[in-house]
């Protein structure tokens, strides 16, 4: 009996570790950001007619698709992940999860997300989600080994979450949906460049063609970060200029954009670990604060939407 209890306890412990590793493959922090981005996009499109629960449901389906992209990305990159210090202990390169199980998890999440959007919302949002998955896994992921243009290609599916949430309710892309897509597209470059610069030796060792990892291109990362953060300023305040947002969002977005521009400029001027980390931290703060500005704005925020219902 004692031996049986030990075996059962061991099996349960193993199952917990496997479940934890499978959850790790979905990159939960990124999945949460994807869900929140889709939620904001859906809320802006839904207006007072839709419940918060239904907006959250659309965000959940989009998050499932985003988690699928993370899993399948790690399946395709498991060989290079073994060569990089920051990724060598991930479940696939460390062989704690089989490739078969990871593929089944990724495919299952993709099916749940796409079918959920098609059945519960509209076909266009499902097709756009499927196209986003294809762009991330079939274009961006392999391109990282071929060209530094991978960052531009990857920024397209990377910016899709709020647009997908928006289309789920609006049935098309317009207004805030396009604005949020453009904001996320520009926001990603300083964020990417800071990460790539900090881990440039890892990327070079693995043969990943990230701009800061290329010979003689380290300084270009700072210039690219500064250029896109400069472009982000007018893009982010455009909803206010257009009348789609009030002073809370517009003034806040301007301040956020200037802080991002300052951090990017410092990184471009003095590329070192401190400036790269500062830019990375600013980028991580930028997006959730921008979303909170949207949600609290008197014209477009939650109070404005549901106060009229």
Q: What is the 3-state secondary structure (H, E, C) of the chain?
A: CHHHHHHHHHHHHHHHHHHHHHHHHCCHHHHHHHHHHHHHHHHHHHHHHCCHHHHHHHHHHHHHHHHHHHHHHHHHCHHHHCCCCCCCCCCCCCCCCCHHHHHHHHHHHHHHHHHHHHHHCCHHHHHHHHHHHHHHHHHHHHHCCCCCCHHHHHHHHHCCHHHHHHHHHHCCCCHHHHHHHHHHHHHHHHHHHHHHHHCHHHHHHHCCCCHHHCCCCHHHHHHHHHHHHHHHHHHHHHHHHHCCCCHHHHHHHHHHHHHHHHHHHHHHHCCCHHHHHHHHHHHHHHHHHHHHHHHHCCCCCHHHHHHCC
Is it the case that residue 305 has pLDDT exceeding 70? Answer: no
Is it the case that residue 35 has pLDDT exceeding 90? Answer: yes
Q: Would you state the pLDDT for residue 183?
A: 97
Q: Per-residue pLDDT averaged across 159-165, rounded?
A: 97
Q: What is the pLDDT of residues 175-232, one digit of tens each?
A: 999 999 999 999 999 999 999 999 998 888 888 888 888 887 767 889 999 999 999 9
* Residue-averaged pLDDT of the chain: 90
Is it the case that residue 3 has pLDDT exceeding 90? Answer: no
Q: Per-residue pLDDT averaged across 294-302, rounded?
A: 82
Q: Per-residue pLDDT averaged across 283-293, rounded?
A: 96
Q: What is the pLDDT of residues 128-151, one digit of tens each?
A: 999 999 999 999 999 999 998 999
Q: What percentage of the chain has pLDDT greater than the value 90?
A: 73
Is it the case that residue 8 has pLDDT exceeding 80? Answer: no
Considering the domain 174-309, what is its CATH architecture?
A: Up-down Bundle (1.20)
Is it the case that residue 14 has pLDDT exceeding 80? Answer: no
271 pLDDT band, cuts 50/70/90, is confident
Q: Would you state the pLDDT for residue 6?
A: 45
7 pLDDT band, cuts 50/70/90, is very low
CATH topology of domain 1-172: Tetracycline Repressor; domain 2 (1.10.357)
Q: Would you state the pLDDT for residue 209?
A: 87
Q: Would you state the pLDDT for residue 179?
A: 96
Q: What is the pLDDT of residues 218-270, one digit of tens each?
A: 678 899 999 999 999 999 999 999 999 999 999 999 999 999 999 999 999 98
Q: How far is 267 from 176, CA to CA, in rounded Å?
A: 30
Structural domain spans, the chain: 1-172, 174-309
Q: How far is 45 from 214, CA to CA, in rounded Å?
A: 42
Is it the case that residue 304 has pLDDT exceeding 70? Answer: no
Q: Would you state the pLDDT for residue 16?
A: 74
Q: How far lies 123's CA from each of 54, 119, 173, in Å?
A: 17, 8, 13
Q: Would you state the pLDDT for residue 306?
A: 60
Q: What is the pLDDT of residues 76-125, one digit of tens each?
A: 999 998 989 888 899 999 999 999 999 999 999 999 999 999 999 999 99
- How many other C-beta atoms are found inside a 10 Å radius of the C-beta of residue 299? 18
Residue appearing with tokens 């098309």:
172
Q: Do domains 1-172 and 174-309 have the same CATH topology?
A: no
Q: Decide if 293 contacts 252 (C-beta within 8 A).
A: yes
303 pLDDT band, cuts 50/70/90, is low
């Amino acid at each position: 009996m004692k031996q049986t209890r030990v075996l059962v306890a061991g099996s349960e412990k193993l199952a917990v570790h496997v479940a934890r590793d499978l959850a790790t493959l979905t990159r939960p922090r990124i999945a949460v950001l994807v869900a929140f981005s889709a939620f904001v996009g859906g809320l802006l499109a839904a207006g007072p007619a839709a419940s918060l629960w239904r907006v959250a449901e659309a965000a959940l389906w989009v998050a499932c698709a985003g988690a699928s992209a993370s899993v399948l990305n790690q399946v395709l990159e498991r060989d290079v992940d073994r060569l990089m210090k920051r990724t060598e202990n991930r479940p696939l390169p460390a062989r704690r999860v089989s490739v078969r199980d990871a593929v089944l998890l990724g495919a299952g999440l993709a099916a749940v997300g796409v079918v959920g959007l098609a059945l519960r919302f509209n076909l266009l949002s499902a097709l756009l989600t499927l196209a986003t998955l294809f762009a991330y896994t079939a274009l961006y992921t392999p391109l990282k080994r071929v060209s530094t243009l991978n960052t531009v290609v990857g920024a397209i599916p990377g910016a899709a979450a709020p647009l997908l949430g928006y289309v789920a309710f609006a049935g098309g892309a317009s207004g805030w949906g396009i604005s949020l897509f453009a904001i996320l597209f520009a926001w990603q470059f300083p964020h990417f460049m800071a990460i790539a610069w900090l881990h440039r030796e890892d990327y070079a060792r693995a043969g990943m063609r990230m701009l800061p990892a290329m010979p003689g291109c380290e300084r270009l990362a700072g210039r690219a970060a500064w250029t896109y953060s400069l472009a982000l300023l007018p893009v982010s305040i455009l909803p206010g200029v257009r009348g789609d947002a009030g002073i809370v969002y517009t003034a806040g977005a301007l301040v956020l954009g200037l802080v991002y521009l300052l951090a990017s400029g410092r990184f471009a001027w003095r590329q070192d670990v401190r400036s790269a980390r500062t830019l990375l931290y600013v980028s991580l703060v930028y997006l959730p604060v921008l979303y909170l500005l949207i949600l609290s704005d008197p014209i477009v925020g939650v109070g404005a939407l549901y106060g009229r219902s």
